[in-house]
Structure 1
Amino acid sequence: MGSATSSMAAKFAFFPPDPPSYSIYVDVSTGKMRMSDVVHQREDVDVLKLSTKRGNEIVAMYVKNPSASMTVLYSHGNAADLGQMYHIFTELSLHLGVNLMGYDYSGYGQSSGKASEQDTYADVEAAYKCLEETYGVKEEDIILYGQSVGSGPTLELAIRLPRLRAVILHSPILSGLRVMYPVKRTFWFDIYKNIDKIPLVNCPVLVIHGTEDEVVDFSHGKQLWELCKEKYEPLWLKGGNHCNLELYPEYLKHLRKFITAVEKLPRLQFESGEISEQSENSSSATEQKSRASTDYREKSRLSIGQREKSRPSTDNREKSRTSTDKREKSRRSMDRSGKARNSTDQSERARNSFDRLGDMVRSVGLCNVDCLKQTALEA
């Protein structure tokens, strides 16, 4: 029973376009790798082949934005490949002001191998390593974006990156089995156990889901958001289904708001296994060191007399209260920073970008099995 159910879940999860929507060739004049069947080749897009630790070679694309401070690593849905996502990725990079890397899972597009849960984990890890090693992107400047089934590799990577800037989940799943059956517990043979991983993510999380999603019920996104440690204002698109959320003007607007907010968050330093906010100037850094020194002397003094025993527990409560206050202030500042924008020019640019992105989304079934059922039947 377990093996059969796992197989059914895998069939839901992996539905690569057949045949692939693109092929790869080398441009003789530049020596750069290119995708065929792309109408407008762009110089700001790198096409790469990456080796994974499971022995597959996957195709990735990196869109450069010279004004970007953040980089989005995008794991797409189960019925798309990079040929279909190419123009959407370039538009998102432009209008969100980010660098963006997308990749095809093993067995998708021109990537070798066959898709499986463990292969997709190796695939996203290879894409992340490429960002670090080839492009010099730091962990704290990366936002992971998972769409539909892509929420699986996204959360698997997120729980292993303690300095990650943020996570975006677009029509995410609680787990593969829960898409088909409303089970109340996690079984060993289930795939993409996002419900168990989301509480382990320490960075801000944005969840986007359509209320009329016919493939992954809206309850999946809602429950994942409720389980987040660092919740950001979710985007519940009324009437939205599994494949058309990019058509809503609120989609791009809310993404921009979120990215602007997380850009303004203080960077985190990790020293001796502990997290501390990076000092903005030398005087505050000196003050922190002085306070640490004073605390150390105070702890030494406490060990001398028994009459001081009650003070450590008081200090702990105070530290806990201070930590809670800091988290609350950080959360409020994120909300405030997201509200502080809008001009006539920006509104006009946003309106144009919605139209262009909407046209692209209409031209390709983006993300789910149902999107390509008709295409498959015709083929």
Structure 2
Amino acid sequence: MLERGLLTRILYPAPEPSYSSDSFPNELVWIPKRSSLDGDIPPVGVDSVPCLLLTYPYSRYLVLFFHSNAEDLGRCYSFCRLLREKFQVHVLAVEYPGYGLCPGVATGKTVMENSFSALHFATQSLHWPLDSILTFGRSIGTGPAVKLASLFGFAGVILVTPFLSVADLFKDRVGPLSSFFEEWYPNIGLASRIKCPVLLIHGKADNMIGFHHAELLYAAINTRKLLVSPAALSHNTNLMNDVSYLILPATHFFSLPDYVFHDLQVPQWAFDAERATSRPAWSFFQREGKALLQLGQFTARPLAGNMPSASVPCCGSGHAASSLWPSIGCCSRASVDQHEAAESVQVGYDLDTLHLREPKGQDPSHPWSDPVQPIAVSLPARHKEFQEEEEVAPHMNGVRWREKLAAISV
């Protein structure tokens, strides 16, 4: 097996933080890694996970969002806002260790610890039922999304450019060398355990994570499912370029939007910036000099709230990065977020302490309340009523693989 730190640097090449504790007033929450029991206010001294919480009045659904490996909460902020507005849902976006303001080092175990903490916060502090939570993972984010969905009865799962496993990711690139990579996210092994509806979105033009990954995952899923495979969609294509990529499939598949009579209530302690844990200055992700995955030209970093202006590396295509679409990629040169590995290890988090609510009984009004065979639909290329009013702009996402991992010899 490769040394874990090296694998982390390949799979989680964290960019420099694109936001501060003052960037998103009333939207940046601090979730304790070990949440207390219901009714208790967690002490300030415990480690906290920064998360974005974007609310929509009286929405029924909460989306638990896991971003790709080339962005942090600041870079996916605009995309999360679009999710909230287009689907009229609450959005809780989780930060990874070593990313943004979150301390630590990202591994399969530590990422899942943050994921469980966010889910515990949603169910215990926000009092949101499991059957009203949608998990959404993009690229490396499909790892924690699949892991959680294999354990809990969510309302549904959205997987954008998913992968089979770490071994399969690297097998496409380095052949037999893939056996040296530790397995962090065995999505193909967990797919059959998912009991909620699954929407998979994977473009046939994706040259970073092959389309066959989505095809095999689709075949392994035994619940209601839909695979959307636009011919022109590449790994870093803006998902908002065409409503048939994400907006229409998710709207129809999950019958969005939907509402409830009670609104989301957020405890005030969650906004306390004093809960922020300082990120250590010695983090090797911030070092100068040669990196495993070299970044290209520098472009303007997208701004959000009071976030200071700075420069961040783009993937080298020469396209300007924009703050409008930071969650998806600035050019066709794909990122390594697809090279997001997975492991079947037991996370150091006691699932019994989550006290998660069980899914409610079947509701005839739910489109998936009765057993349904896998469906295939033909979506129109565009619908005028769903046309985007915003100007489509390039967006930032990632870094590029060196041929046959030549850069491993750093």
TM interval, shorter chain, is 0.5 to 0.7
Q: Structure 2 matches for 1:86-105, cutoff 5 A?
A: 86-105=77-96
Q: Check whether the contact 1:61–1:102 (CA below 8 A) recurs between aligned residues.
A: yes
Q: Residue 195 of structure 2 is aligned with which of 202, 227, 231? A: 202
TM-score normalised according to structure 2 size: 0.62
Aligned residue-pair number: 286
Q: Structure 2 matches for 1:263-274, cutoff 5 A?
A: none
Q: Residue 62 of structure 1 is aligned with which of 41, 45, 53? A: 53
| 2:392 aligned with 1:364 | no
SS in 2 for 1:363: coil
State the alpha-carbon separation in 2 of the partners of residues 191 and 8 from structure 1.
Answer: 14
SS in 1 for 2:244: helix
- What are the ranges of 5 or more consecutive residues in structure 2 without an aligned counterpart? 36-45, 260-357, 402-410
Cross-structure match for 1:116: 107
- What are the ranges of 5 or more consecutive residues in structure 1 without an aligned counterpart? 26-33, 36-40, 265-272, 281-325, 372-379
Q: Check whether the contact 2:66–2:144 (CA below 8 A) recurs between aligned residues.
A: yes
Q: Residue 18 of structure 2 is aligned with which of 17, 21, 27? A: 21
Q: Check whether the contact 2:19–2:100 (CA below 8 A) recurs between aligned residues.
A: yes
Distance 1:187 1:70, change over 3 A: farther
State the alpha-carbon separation in 2 of the partners of residues 10 and 78 from structure 1.
Answer: 11
Distance 1:238 1:173, change over 3 A: same
The alpha-carbon deviation at position 186 of structure 1 amounts to 8.7
Q: Check whether the contact 1:56–1:106 (CA below 8 A) recurs between aligned residues.
A: no
| 2:254 aligned with 1:259 | yes
| 2:146 aligned with 1:155 | yes
Q: Structure 2 matches for 1:1-379, cutoff 5 A?
A: 2-4=1-3, 9-17=7-15, 19-25=16-22, 34-35=23-24, 46-53=27-34, 56-161=47-152, 163-182=153-172, 189-246=182-239, 247-251=241-245, 252-260=247-255, 277=362, 330-331=371-372, 347-348=383-384, 350-352=386-388, 355-356=390-391, 358-359=392-393, 362-365=394-397, 368-370=398-400
Q: After superposition, what is the alpha-carbon deviation per residue over 1:251-276, rounded to whole angstroms, capped at 9, x for unaligned?
A: 22212112217969xxxxxxxx9995
The alpha-carbon deviation at position 57 of structure 1 amounts to 2.6
Q: Check whether the contact 1:12–1:369 (CA below 8 A) recurs between aligned residues.
A: no
TM-score normalised according to structure 1 size: 0.66
Q: Which amino acid aligns with 2:242?
A: Y
Cross-structure match for 1:310: none
The alpha-carbon deviation at position 328 of structure 1 amounts to 10
Q: Which amino acid aligns with 1:158?
A: A
State the alpha-carbon separation in 2 of the partners of residues 274 and 48 from structure 1.
Answer: 26
State the alpha-carbon separation in 1 of the partners of residues 121 and 154 from structure 2.
Answer: 16
Q: Check whether the contact 1:212–1:241 (CA below 8 A) recurs between aligned residues.
A: yes
Q: Between the two structures, name the one with larger relative contact order (CA 8 Å, sep ≥ 6).
A: 2
Q: After superposition, what is the alpha-carbon deviation per residue over 1:99-151, rounded to whole angstroms, capped at 9, x for unaligned?
A: 11102111111111111110110111111111112222111100111110111
Q: After superposition, what is the alpha-carbon deviation per residue over 1:63-97, rounded to whole angstroms, capped at 9, x for unaligned?
A: 11114111110101110111111111111111112
Q: After superposition, what is the alpha-carbon deviation per residue over 1:225-248, rounded to whole angstroms, capped at 9, x for unaligned?
A: 111111422110212111115123
Q: Check whether the contact 1:261–1:335 (CA below 8 A) recurs between aligned residues.
A: no
Q: Which amino acid aligns with 2:204?
A: T
Q: Check whether the contact 1:51–1:58 (CA below 8 A) recurs between aligned residues.
A: yes
Q: Which amino acid aligns with 1:277?
A: Q
The alpha-carbon deviation at position 21 of structure 1 amounts to 0.9
State the alpha-carbon separation in 2 of the partners of residues 60 and 133 from structure 1.
Answer: 16
More helix by percentage: 1
The alpha-carbon deviation at position 98 of structure 1 amounts to 1.0
SS in 1 for 2:206: coil
Q: Check whether the contact 1:64–1:93 (CA below 8 A) recurs between aligned residues.
A: yes
Q: After superposition, what is the alpha-carbon deviation per residue over 1:345-375, rounded to whole angstroms, capped at 9, x for unaligned?
A: x95552125x45x43xx2322xx4339xxxx
More strand by percentage: 1
Q: Check whether the contact 1:215–1:370 (CA below 8 A) recurs between aligned residues.
A: no
State the alpha-carbon separation in 1 of the partners of residues 34 and 166 from structure 2.
Answer: 24
State the alpha-carbon separation in 2 of the partners of residues 70 and 327 from structure 1.
Answer: 15
Distance 1:225 1:159, change over 3 A: same
State the alpha-carbon separation in 2 of the partners of residues 279 and 363 from structure 1.
Answer: 41
Distance 1:110 1:261, change over 3 A: closer
Q: Which amino acid aligns with 1:249?
A: V
Q: Which amino acid aligns with 2:244?
A: E
Distance 1:236 1:347, change over 3 A: closer
Q: Which amino acid aligns with 1:253?
A: L
State the alpha-carbon separation in 1 of the partners of residues 211 and 101 from structure 2.
Answer: 32
State the alpha-carbon separation in 2 of the partners of residues 173 and 49 from structure 1.
Answer: 30
State the alpha-carbon separation in 1 of the partners of residues 368 and 116 from structure 2.
Answer: 30
Distance 1:199 1:8, change over 3 A: farther
